Structure 1
Amino acid sequence: MSSLELRAITVRYGRFTAVQNVDLMVPEGTVTGLVGGSGSGKSTLGKAVVGLAPVHSGRVLVAGSEAGRRPGRSQVQLVFQNPYASLDPRMTVGASVAEALPREAGSREAPARERRAARGAEVARYLELVGIDPARAVLTPDALSGGQRQRVALARALAARPAVLIADEITSALDVSVQGAVLNLLRGLQRELGFAMLFISHNLAVVRYLSDQVAVMDGGHLVECGPTARVLERPEHPTTRNLISCVPALALAEEAS
Protein backbone atom coordinates (compact mmCIF):
# COMPACT_ATOMS: atom_id res chain seq x y z
CA MET A 1 0.00 0.00 0.00
CA SER A 2 1.05 3.59 -0.52
CA SER A 3 -0.11 7.20 -0.28
CA LEU A 4 -0.31 10.11 -2.69
CA GLU A 5 0.55 13.61 -1.54
CA LEU A 6 0.29 16.76 -3.64
CA ARG A 7 2.14 19.78 -2.34
CA ALA A 8 1.35 23.23 -3.78
CA ILE A 9 0.68 21.91 -7.29
CA THR A 10 0.23 24.63 -9.89
CA VAL A 11 -0.49 23.89 -13.56
CA ARG A 12 -0.14 26.57 -16.22
CA TYR A 13 -0.78 26.64 -19.95
CA GLY A 14 1.06 29.74 -21.06
CA ARG A 15 -0.47 32.59 -19.08
CA PHE A 16 -3.53 30.58 -18.08
CA THR A 17 -3.41 28.95 -14.65
CA ALA A 18 -5.58 25.82 -14.67
CA VAL A 19 -4.68 24.62 -11.15
CA GLN A 20 -3.44 26.91 -8.40
CA ASN A 21 -1.43 25.86 -5.35
CA VAL A 22 -3.31 22.63 -4.54
CA ASP A 23 -2.41 20.59 -1.47
CA LEU A 24 -4.06 17.18 -1.20
CA MET A 25 -3.33 13.98 0.69
CA VAL A 26 -4.71 10.58 -0.37
CA PRO A 27 -3.84 8.24 2.52
CA GLU A 28 -2.66 4.73 1.79
CA GLY A 29 -5.37 2.19 1.03
CA THR A 30 -8.11 4.84 0.75
CA VAL A 31 -10.19 6.53 -1.95
CA THR A 32 -10.43 10.29 -2.34
CA GLY A 33 -13.24 11.56 -4.53
CA LEU A 34 -12.26 14.70 -6.44
CA VAL A 35 -15.30 16.66 -7.60
CA GLY A 36 -16.09 19.99 -9.19
CA GLY A 37 -17.92 21.60 -12.05
CA SER A 38 -16.82 21.64 -15.67
CA GLY A 39 -13.53 23.52 -15.98
CA SER A 40 -12.80 23.38 -12.26
CA GLY A 41 -9.38 21.79 -12.86
CA LYS A 42 -10.06 18.34 -11.42
CA SER A 43 -9.07 16.37 -14.53
CA THR A 44 -6.08 18.65 -15.10
CA LEU A 45 -4.90 17.89 -11.57
CA GLY A 46 -5.17 14.15 -12.21
CA LYS A 47 -3.17 14.46 -15.41
CA ALA A 48 -0.54 16.55 -13.64
CA VAL A 49 0.07 13.70 -11.20
CA VAL A 50 1.14 11.39 -14.05
CA GLY A 51 2.99 14.02 -16.07
CA LEU A 52 0.35 14.66 -18.74
CA ALA A 53 -0.20 18.30 -17.75
CA PRO A 54 2.54 20.95 -17.35
CA VAL A 55 3.34 21.29 -13.65
CA HIS A 56 4.63 24.83 -13.13
CA SER A 57 5.47 24.28 -9.47
CA GLY A 58 4.85 21.90 -6.60
CA ARG A 59 5.68 18.29 -5.75
CA VAL A 60 4.03 14.90 -6.24
CA LEU A 61 4.96 12.41 -3.52
CA VAL A 62 4.20 8.70 -3.41
CA ALA A 63 4.82 7.15 0.02
CA GLY A 64 6.74 10.30 0.90
CA SER A 65 9.15 10.09 -2.05
CA GLU A 66 9.19 12.18 -5.21
CA ALA A 67 7.20 10.52 -7.98
CA GLY A 68 8.34 10.57 -11.60
CA ARG A 69 6.28 12.82 -13.86
CA ARG A 70 6.98 11.15 -17.17
CA PRO A 71 4.14 9.25 -18.89
CA GLY A 72 4.41 5.49 -19.01
CA ARG A 73 5.15 2.96 -16.32
CA SER A 74 5.29 4.49 -12.87
CA GLN A 75 4.03 4.14 -9.35
CA VAL A 76 0.95 6.07 -10.44
CA GLN A 77 -1.38 4.95 -13.23
CA LEU A 78 -4.22 6.86 -14.88
CA VAL A 79 -7.42 5.29 -16.26
CA PHE A 80 -9.06 7.65 -18.74
CA GLN A 81 -12.74 8.42 -19.28
CA ASN A 82 -12.47 7.02 -22.80
CA PRO A 83 -10.70 3.64 -22.83
CA TYR A 84 -9.65 4.25 -26.44
CA ALA A 85 -7.33 6.94 -25.04
CA SER A 86 -5.23 4.23 -23.38
CA LEU A 87 -5.85 1.21 -25.63
CA ASP A 88 -4.16 1.03 -29.03
CA PRO A 89 -6.93 -0.04 -31.47
CA ARG A 90 -4.35 -2.00 -33.48
CA MET A 91 -3.14 -4.06 -30.53
CA THR A 92 -4.89 -7.09 -29.12
CA VAL A 93 -6.27 -6.92 -25.60
CA GLY A 94 -3.58 -9.33 -24.41
CA ALA A 95 -0.78 -7.31 -25.99
CA SER A 96 -2.05 -4.09 -24.39
CA VAL A 97 -2.09 -5.61 -20.92
CA ALA A 98 1.25 -7.37 -21.44
CA GLU A 99 2.89 -4.08 -22.46
CA ALA A 100 2.15 -2.67 -18.99
CA LEU A 101 3.67 -5.58 -17.07
CA PRO A 102 6.95 -4.68 -15.35
CA ARG A 103 9.96 -6.78 -16.27
CA GLU A 104 10.94 -9.04 -13.41
CA ALA A 105 14.54 -9.18 -12.25
CA GLY A 106 16.30 -12.16 -13.79
CA SER A 107 13.61 -12.71 -16.41
CA ARG A 108 16.04 -12.07 -19.28
CA GLU A 109 18.06 -15.11 -18.23
CA ALA A 110 15.02 -17.40 -18.58
CA PRO A 111 14.37 -19.12 -21.93
CA ALA A 112 12.18 -17.12 -24.31
CA ARG A 113 9.42 -19.73 -24.20
CA GLU A 114 9.26 -19.56 -20.39
CA ARG A 115 9.16 -15.75 -20.46
CA ARG A 116 6.27 -15.76 -22.94
CA ALA A 117 4.38 -18.35 -20.90
CA ALA A 118 4.89 -16.41 -17.67
CA ARG A 119 3.72 -13.14 -19.21
CA GLY A 120 0.74 -14.88 -20.79
CA ALA A 121 -0.26 -16.24 -17.40
CA GLU A 122 0.04 -12.77 -15.87
CA VAL A 123 -2.12 -11.27 -18.63
CA ALA A 124 -4.77 -13.94 -18.05
CA ARG A 125 -4.67 -13.24 -14.29
CA TYR A 126 -5.29 -9.52 -14.69
CA LEU A 127 -8.05 -10.06 -17.25
CA GLU A 128 -9.77 -12.50 -14.89
CA LEU A 129 -9.30 -10.01 -12.07
CA VAL A 130 -11.48 -7.48 -13.94
CA GLY A 131 -14.00 -10.04 -15.11
CA ILE A 132 -12.80 -10.53 -18.70
CA ASP A 133 -12.49 -14.03 -20.15
CA PRO A 134 -8.76 -14.56 -20.92
CA ALA A 135 -9.85 -16.11 -24.23
CA ARG A 136 -10.69 -12.57 -25.35
CA ALA A 137 -7.01 -11.63 -25.13
CA VAL A 138 -6.68 -12.27 -28.89
CA LEU A 139 -9.34 -9.66 -29.74
CA THR A 140 -8.80 -5.99 -30.54
CA PRO A 141 -10.70 -3.28 -28.60
CA ASP A 142 -13.25 -2.74 -31.38
CA ALA A 143 -14.57 -6.27 -30.77
CA LEU A 144 -15.51 -5.39 -27.18
CA SER A 145 -18.34 -3.39 -25.64
CA GLY A 146 -17.68 -0.06 -23.92
CA GLY A 147 -17.85 -1.64 -20.50
CA GLN A 148 -15.48 -4.43 -21.51
CA ARG A 149 -12.99 -1.94 -22.96
CA GLN A 150 -13.04 0.02 -19.70
CA ARG A 151 -12.35 -3.20 -17.78
CA VAL A 152 -9.40 -3.92 -20.06
CA ALA A 153 -8.09 -0.39 -19.52
CA LEU A 154 -8.34 -1.03 -15.78
CA ALA A 155 -6.54 -4.37 -16.15
CA ARG A 156 -3.77 -2.63 -18.07
CA ALA A 157 -3.36 -0.01 -15.33
CA LEU A 158 -3.32 -2.65 -12.58
CA ALA A 159 -0.82 -4.77 -14.50
CA ALA A 160 1.75 -2.01 -13.94
CA ARG A 161 1.31 -2.71 -10.20
CA PRO A 162 0.76 0.92 -9.23
CA ALA A 163 0.82 2.22 -5.69
CA VAL A 164 -1.72 4.86 -6.72
CA LEU A 165 -4.53 4.75 -9.27
CA ILE A 166 -6.09 7.87 -10.82
CA ALA A 167 -9.58 7.16 -12.21
CA ASP A 168 -10.84 10.06 -14.34
CA GLU A 169 -14.60 9.95 -15.00
CA ILE A 170 -14.25 6.29 -15.92
CA THR A 171 -17.98 5.50 -15.93
CA SER A 172 -19.43 8.69 -17.40
CA ALA A 173 -19.33 7.39 -20.99
CA LEU A 174 -20.87 4.03 -20.09
CA ASP A 175 -24.52 2.97 -20.13
CA VAL A 176 -26.22 3.24 -16.75
CA SER A 177 -26.66 -0.54 -16.68
CA VAL A 178 -22.89 -0.99 -17.00
CA GLN A 179 -21.79 1.79 -14.65
CA GLY A 180 -22.81 -0.06 -11.49
CA ALA A 181 -20.89 -3.19 -12.46
CA VAL A 182 -17.70 -1.24 -13.19
CA LEU A 183 -17.98 0.74 -9.94
CA ASN A 184 -18.53 -2.41 -7.88
CA LEU A 185 -15.54 -3.97 -9.60
CA LEU A 186 -13.36 -0.94 -8.89
CA ARG A 187 -14.41 -0.79 -5.26
CA GLY A 188 -13.69 -4.48 -4.76
CA LEU A 189 -10.28 -4.30 -6.46
CA GLN A 190 -9.25 -1.25 -4.43
CA ARG A 191 -10.07 -3.01 -1.20
CA GLU A 192 -8.42 -6.26 -2.29
CA LEU A 193 -5.20 -4.76 -3.67
CA GLY A 194 -4.93 -1.85 -1.25
CA PHE A 195 -3.80 0.89 -3.63
CA ALA A 196 -4.63 4.52 -2.92
CA MET A 197 -7.07 5.98 -5.45
CA LEU A 198 -7.97 9.46 -6.62
CA PHE A 199 -11.43 9.10 -8.14
CA ILE A 200 -12.33 12.08 -10.33
CA SER A 201 -16.02 12.56 -11.03
CA HIS A 202 -18.83 15.08 -11.40
CA ASN A 203 -21.28 12.54 -9.90
CA LEU A 204 -21.53 13.07 -6.14
CA ALA A 205 -23.73 10.01 -5.66
CA VAL A 206 -20.97 7.83 -7.11
CA VAL A 207 -18.32 9.63 -5.07
CA ARG A 208 -20.29 9.02 -1.88
CA TYR A 209 -20.46 5.30 -2.70
CA LEU A 210 -16.73 4.92 -3.35
CA SER A 211 -14.86 7.50 -1.32
CA ASP A 212 -13.41 7.78 2.17
CA GLN A 213 -12.90 11.50 1.73
CA VAL A 214 -14.08 14.15 -0.73
CA ALA A 215 -12.10 17.05 -2.19
CA VAL A 216 -13.90 19.85 -4.02
CA MET A 217 -12.37 22.06 -6.71
CA ASP A 218 -13.56 25.36 -8.14
CA GLY A 219 -11.73 27.65 -10.52
CA GLY A 220 -8.50 25.67 -10.19
CA HIS A 221 -8.51 25.91 -6.39
CA LEU A 222 -9.19 23.21 -3.80
CA VAL A 223 -11.99 24.80 -1.81
CA GLU A 224 -13.02 22.01 0.58
CA CYS A 225 -11.74 18.62 1.70
CA GLY A 226 -12.73 16.21 4.42
CA PRO A 227 -14.37 12.88 5.30
CA THR A 228 -17.15 11.97 2.87
CA ALA A 229 -19.98 12.04 5.42
CA ARG A 230 -18.95 15.44 6.77
CA VAL A 231 -18.47 17.12 3.39
CA LEU A 232 -21.70 15.80 1.87
CA GLU A 233 -23.88 16.20 4.95
CA ARG A 234 -22.41 19.42 6.37
CA PRO A 235 -20.75 21.23 3.45
CA GLU A 236 -18.87 24.41 4.34
CA HIS A 237 -18.20 25.95 0.92
CA PRO A 238 -20.85 27.40 -1.46
CA THR A 239 -19.44 25.35 -4.36
CA THR A 240 -19.97 22.13 -2.43
CA ARG A 241 -23.51 23.15 -1.49
CA ASN A 242 -24.26 24.00 -5.11
CA LEU A 243 -22.98 20.62 -6.31
CA ILE A 244 -25.08 18.84 -3.69
CA SER A 245 -28.20 20.79 -4.69
CA CYS A 246 -27.95 19.18 -8.15
CA VAL A 247 -28.34 15.69 -6.62
CA PRO A 248 -31.85 15.44 -5.09
CA ALA A 249 -31.08 12.53 -2.73
CA LEU A 250 -27.99 14.28 -1.35
CA ALA A 251 -29.79 17.61 -1.07
CA LEU A 252 -32.54 15.98 1.01
CA ALA A 253 -29.93 14.35 3.25
CA GLU A 254 -28.26 17.73 3.82
CA GLU A 255 -31.58 19.36 4.71
CA ALA A 256 -32.40 16.57 7.13
CA SER A 257 -29.06 16.99 8.92
Structure 2
Amino acid sequence: MTRPVRIGVQLQPQHAEYTEIRRAVAEIEEAGADIVYTWDHFFPLYGEADGLHFECWTMLGAWAEATSRIEIGALVTANSYRNPELVADMARTVDHISDGRLILGIGAGWFERDYDEYGYEFGTAGSRIASLGESMPRIKSRWAKLNPAPTRDIPVLIGGSGERKTLRVVAEHATIWHGFGDPERLRHLTSVLDRWCAEVGRDPLEIERSVAVSDPPESVGEDFVATGVTHFTIAQGGPKYDLGLARDWIAWRDEHNAKSA
Protein backbone atom coordinates (compact mmCIF):
# COMPACT_ATOMS: atom_id res chain seq x y z
CA MET A 1 0.00 0.00 0.00
CA THR A 2 1.39 3.41 -1.03
CA ARG A 3 0.16 6.27 1.10
CA PRO A 4 -0.01 9.83 -0.19
CA VAL A 5 2.26 12.32 1.50
CA ARG A 6 0.52 14.50 4.10
CA ILE A 7 1.74 17.72 5.69
CA GLY A 8 1.06 18.84 9.24
CA VAL A 9 1.98 22.08 10.98
CA GLN A 10 2.46 22.23 14.75
CA LEU A 11 1.60 25.66 16.13
CA GLN A 12 3.39 25.71 19.46
CA PRO A 13 1.10 27.86 21.65
CA GLN A 14 3.93 29.76 23.31
CA HIS A 15 4.92 33.44 23.26
CA ALA A 16 1.93 34.41 21.08
CA GLU A 17 -1.40 36.10 21.69
CA TYR A 18 -4.37 33.88 20.86
CA THR A 19 -5.41 36.23 18.03
CA GLU A 20 -2.11 35.41 16.31
CA ILE A 21 -2.60 31.67 16.85
CA ARG A 22 -6.11 31.86 15.39
CA ARG A 23 -4.82 33.83 12.39
CA ALA A 24 -2.09 31.24 11.78
CA VAL A 25 -4.59 28.37 11.94
CA ALA A 26 -6.69 30.06 9.24
CA GLU A 27 -3.58 30.67 7.11
CA ILE A 28 -2.49 27.05 7.45
CA GLU A 29 -5.88 25.76 6.35
CA GLU A 30 -5.96 28.18 3.43
CA ALA A 31 -2.45 27.12 2.38
CA GLY A 32 -3.64 23.53 2.01
CA ALA A 33 -1.96 21.70 4.89
CA ASP A 34 -3.56 18.42 5.90
CA ILE A 35 -3.34 18.75 9.70
CA VAL A 36 -2.74 21.52 12.23
CA TYR A 37 -1.43 20.44 15.61
CA THR A 38 -0.90 22.12 18.95
CA TRP A 39 1.03 20.61 21.87
CA ASP A 40 0.01 19.68 25.40
CA HIS A 41 2.12 21.68 27.84
CA PHE A 42 1.39 24.36 30.42
CA PHE A 43 4.52 26.47 29.98
CA PRO A 44 6.80 27.41 27.08
CA LEU A 45 9.49 24.89 26.24
CA TYR A 46 11.75 27.45 24.55
CA GLY A 47 12.52 31.09 25.21
CA GLU A 48 11.13 32.89 28.26
CA ALA A 49 10.12 30.14 30.67
CA ASP A 50 7.13 32.11 31.97
CA GLY A 51 6.12 33.58 28.63
CA LEU A 52 2.66 33.56 27.07
CA HIS A 53 1.13 30.11 26.80
CA PHE A 54 -2.28 28.44 26.28
CA GLU A 55 -3.85 25.09 27.18
CA CYS A 56 -4.23 22.36 24.58
CA TRP A 57 -7.71 20.87 24.61
CA THR A 58 -9.77 24.01 25.16
CA MET A 59 -7.91 25.44 22.18
CA LEU A 60 -8.66 22.37 20.06
CA GLY A 61 -12.37 22.93 20.71
CA ALA A 62 -12.00 26.48 19.38
CA TRP A 63 -10.05 25.27 16.34
CA ALA A 64 -12.79 22.76 15.60
CA GLU A 65 -15.26 25.66 15.24
CA ALA A 66 -12.82 27.98 13.45
CA THR A 67 -11.87 25.54 10.67
CA SER A 68 -13.83 23.51 8.15
CA ARG A 69 -11.49 21.18 6.24
CA ILE A 70 -8.16 20.63 7.98
CA GLU A 71 -7.69 17.86 10.55
CA ILE A 72 -6.74 18.97 14.07
CA GLY A 73 -5.00 17.40 17.03
CA ALA A 74 -2.32 17.53 19.69
CA LEU A 75 1.24 16.53 19.01
CA VAL A 76 0.88 15.13 21.57
CA THR A 77 -1.51 14.92 24.52
CA ALA A 78 0.33 13.94 27.71
CA ASN A 79 -1.36 10.80 28.96
CA SER A 80 -0.51 11.63 32.59
CA TYR A 81 -2.49 14.88 32.73
CA ARG A 82 -6.02 13.48 32.45
CA ASN A 83 -7.96 10.36 33.31
CA PRO A 84 -8.14 8.18 30.15
CA GLU A 85 -11.94 8.06 30.23
CA LEU A 86 -11.98 11.86 30.31
CA VAL A 87 -9.53 11.98 27.37
CA ALA A 88 -11.85 9.69 25.43
CA ASP A 89 -14.86 11.91 26.12
CA MET A 90 -12.97 15.10 25.29
CA ALA A 91 -11.75 13.58 22.04
CA ARG A 92 -15.24 12.35 21.15
CA THR A 93 -16.65 15.82 21.81
CA VAL A 94 -14.06 17.63 19.67
CA ASP A 95 -14.57 14.95 17.02
CA HIS A 96 -18.26 15.95 16.85
CA ILE A 97 -17.58 19.70 16.96
CA SER A 98 -15.18 19.29 14.03
CA ASP A 99 -17.45 16.94 12.03
CA GLY A 100 -14.92 14.12 12.25
CA ARG A 101 -11.59 15.90 11.85
CA LEU A 102 -9.87 15.11 15.16
CA ILE A 103 -6.71 13.04 15.45
CA LEU A 104 -6.03 11.87 19.02
CA GLY A 105 -2.31 12.43 19.39
CA ILE A 106 -1.03 11.01 22.66
CA GLY A 107 2.24 10.18 24.37
CA ALA A 108 3.70 9.25 27.73
CA GLY A 109 4.61 12.81 28.84
CA TRP A 110 8.06 14.10 29.79
CA PHE A 111 8.19 17.81 30.77
CA GLU A 112 8.80 17.73 34.52
CA ARG A 113 7.78 21.32 35.21
CA ASP A 114 4.24 20.59 33.99
CA TYR A 115 3.99 17.72 36.48
CA ASP A 116 5.45 19.63 39.38
CA GLU A 117 3.39 22.80 39.03
CA TYR A 118 0.08 21.10 38.22
CA GLY A 119 0.38 18.41 40.87
CA TYR A 120 0.83 15.28 38.74
CA GLU A 121 3.09 12.42 39.76
CA PHE A 122 6.16 12.50 37.51
CA GLY A 123 7.28 8.93 38.15
CA THR A 124 9.84 7.49 35.77
CA ALA A 125 10.02 7.20 31.99
CA GLY A 126 9.18 3.51 32.37
CA SER A 127 6.16 4.12 34.60
CA ARG A 128 4.82 6.82 32.28
CA ILE A 129 5.11 4.55 29.23
CA ALA A 130 3.46 1.69 31.15
CA SER A 131 0.62 4.06 32.07
CA LEU A 132 0.17 4.99 28.40
CA GLY A 133 -0.11 1.32 27.48
CA GLU A 134 -2.72 0.84 30.20
CA SER A 135 -4.69 3.91 29.12
CA MET A 136 -5.16 3.03 25.46
CA PRO A 137 -7.61 0.12 25.99
CA ARG A 138 -9.56 2.27 28.48
CA ILE A 139 -9.84 5.11 25.95
CA LYS A 140 -11.08 2.77 23.24
CA SER A 141 -13.48 1.05 25.64
CA ARG A 142 -14.98 4.40 26.67
CA TRP A 143 -15.46 5.40 23.02
CA ALA A 144 -17.58 2.27 22.60
CA LYS A 145 -19.81 3.32 25.53
CA LEU A 146 -20.34 7.02 24.77
CA ASN A 147 -23.65 8.35 23.50
CA PRO A 148 -23.40 9.65 20.88
CA ALA A 149 -20.48 7.59 19.66
CA PRO A 150 -17.58 9.25 17.84
CA THR A 151 -18.38 10.20 14.25
CA ARG A 152 -15.62 7.89 13.00
CA ASP A 153 -12.94 5.51 14.20
CA ILE A 154 -10.82 8.34 15.64
CA PRO A 155 -7.22 8.04 14.40
CA VAL A 156 -4.70 7.57 17.21
CA LEU A 157 -1.26 9.13 16.79
CA ILE A 158 1.31 7.95 19.32
CA GLY A 159 4.56 9.87 19.59
CA GLY A 160 7.83 8.43 20.82
CA SER A 161 10.88 6.46 19.75
CA GLY A 162 11.66 4.13 22.66
CA GLU A 163 12.53 0.79 21.09
CA ARG A 164 11.78 -1.56 24.00
CA LYS A 165 8.48 -0.16 25.29
CA THR A 166 7.02 2.78 23.35
CA LEU A 167 7.15 1.15 19.93
CA ARG A 168 5.35 -1.88 21.30
CA VAL A 169 2.50 0.39 22.46
CA VAL A 170 2.53 1.95 18.97
CA ALA A 171 2.30 -1.48 17.36
CA GLU A 172 -0.65 -2.41 19.56
CA HIS A 173 -2.70 0.79 19.38
CA ALA A 174 -1.58 3.46 16.90
CA THR A 175 -3.03 4.52 13.57
CA ILE A 176 -0.12 6.96 13.13
CA TRP A 177 3.36 6.76 14.65
CA HIS A 178 5.34 9.99 15.11
CA GLY A 179 9.08 9.48 15.42
CA PHE A 180 12.16 11.66 15.62
CA GLY A 181 15.49 11.75 13.80
CA ASP A 182 17.10 11.80 10.38
CA PRO A 183 16.25 9.33 7.60
CA GLU A 184 18.83 6.80 8.79
CA ARG A 185 17.40 6.87 12.31
CA LEU A 186 13.83 6.57 11.00
CA ARG A 187 14.83 3.60 8.85
CA HIS A 188 16.11 1.82 11.93
CA LEU A 189 13.10 2.71 14.07
CA THR A 190 10.72 1.61 11.33
CA SER A 191 12.36 -1.81 11.27
CA VAL A 192 11.97 -2.04 15.06
CA LEU A 193 8.30 -1.07 14.80
CA ASP A 194 7.77 -3.66 12.08
CA ARG A 195 9.20 -6.35 14.36
CA TRP A 196 6.89 -5.31 17.18
CA CYS A 197 3.94 -5.44 14.76
CA ALA A 198 4.88 -9.00 13.88
CA GLU A 199 5.09 -9.91 17.56
CA VAL A 200 1.65 -8.48 18.43
CA GLY A 201 -0.01 -9.70 15.22
CA ARG A 202 -0.50 -6.32 13.54
CA ASP A 203 -0.02 -5.50 9.86
CA PRO A 204 2.68 -2.76 9.90
CA LEU A 205 1.16 -1.20 6.78
CA GLU A 206 -1.82 -0.16 8.90
CA ILE A 207 0.37 2.41 10.69
CA GLU A 208 1.15 5.71 8.99
CA ARG A 209 4.73 6.87 9.67
CA SER A 210 5.27 10.51 10.69
CA VAL A 211 8.30 12.70 11.44
CA ALA A 212 9.04 16.30 12.41
CA VAL A 213 11.11 18.17 9.82
CA SER A 214 13.01 21.44 9.90
CA ASP A 215 14.92 21.12 6.61
CA PRO A 216 13.59 22.03 3.16
CA PRO A 217 11.78 19.20 1.37
CA GLU A 218 14.22 18.93 -1.51
CA SER A 219 17.01 18.01 0.92
CA VAL A 220 15.29 15.26 2.93
CA GLY A 221 11.82 14.53 1.56
CA GLU A 222 12.53 11.64 -0.76
CA ASP A 223 15.03 10.11 1.67
CA PHE A 224 12.33 9.99 4.34
CA VAL A 225 9.77 8.57 1.91
CA ALA A 226 12.23 5.79 1.13
CA THR A 227 12.08 4.80 4.82
CA GLY A 228 8.27 4.60 4.73
CA VAL A 229 7.56 8.06 6.17
CA THR A 230 4.70 9.88 4.43
CA HIS A 231 3.55 12.31 7.12
CA PHE A 232 5.71 15.39 7.69
CA THR A 233 5.19 18.03 10.38
CA ILE A 234 6.76 21.49 10.54
CA ALA A 235 6.81 23.11 14.00
CA GLN A 236 6.50 26.84 14.55
CA GLY A 237 6.49 28.91 17.74
CA GLY A 238 5.30 32.46 18.48
CA PRO A 239 5.10 35.37 18.76
CA LYS A 240 4.63 35.38 14.97
CA TYR A 241 4.22 32.19 12.97
CA ASP A 242 6.32 32.02 9.78
CA LEU A 243 4.69 29.47 7.48
CA GLY A 244 7.22 29.76 4.65
CA LEU A 245 8.78 26.33 5.22
CA ALA A 246 5.34 24.75 5.59
CA ARG A 247 4.31 26.20 2.22
CA ASP A 248 7.44 24.70 0.65
CA TRP A 249 6.52 21.28 2.03
CA ILE A 250 2.92 21.63 0.82
CA ALA A 251 4.15 22.42 -2.71
CA TRP A 252 6.53 19.44 -2.57
CA ARG A 253 3.68 17.20 -1.35
CA ASP A 254 1.57 18.16 -4.34
CA GLU A 255 4.39 17.43 -6.79
CA HIS A 256 5.27 14.15 -5.11
CA ASN A 257 1.69 12.90 -4.91
CA ALA A 258 1.02 13.86 -8.53
CA LYS A 259 4.04 11.86 -9.68
CA SER A 260 3.00 8.88 -7.53
CA ALA A 261 -0.63 8.84 -8.66
When normalised by structure 2's length, the TM-score is 0.38
TM-score by length of 1: 0.38
| Bigger helix share | 2
Taking CA–CA contacts closer than 8 Å with sequence separation of 6 or more, which of the two structures ends up with the larger relative contact order?
1
Q: Which has the higher strand share?
A: 1
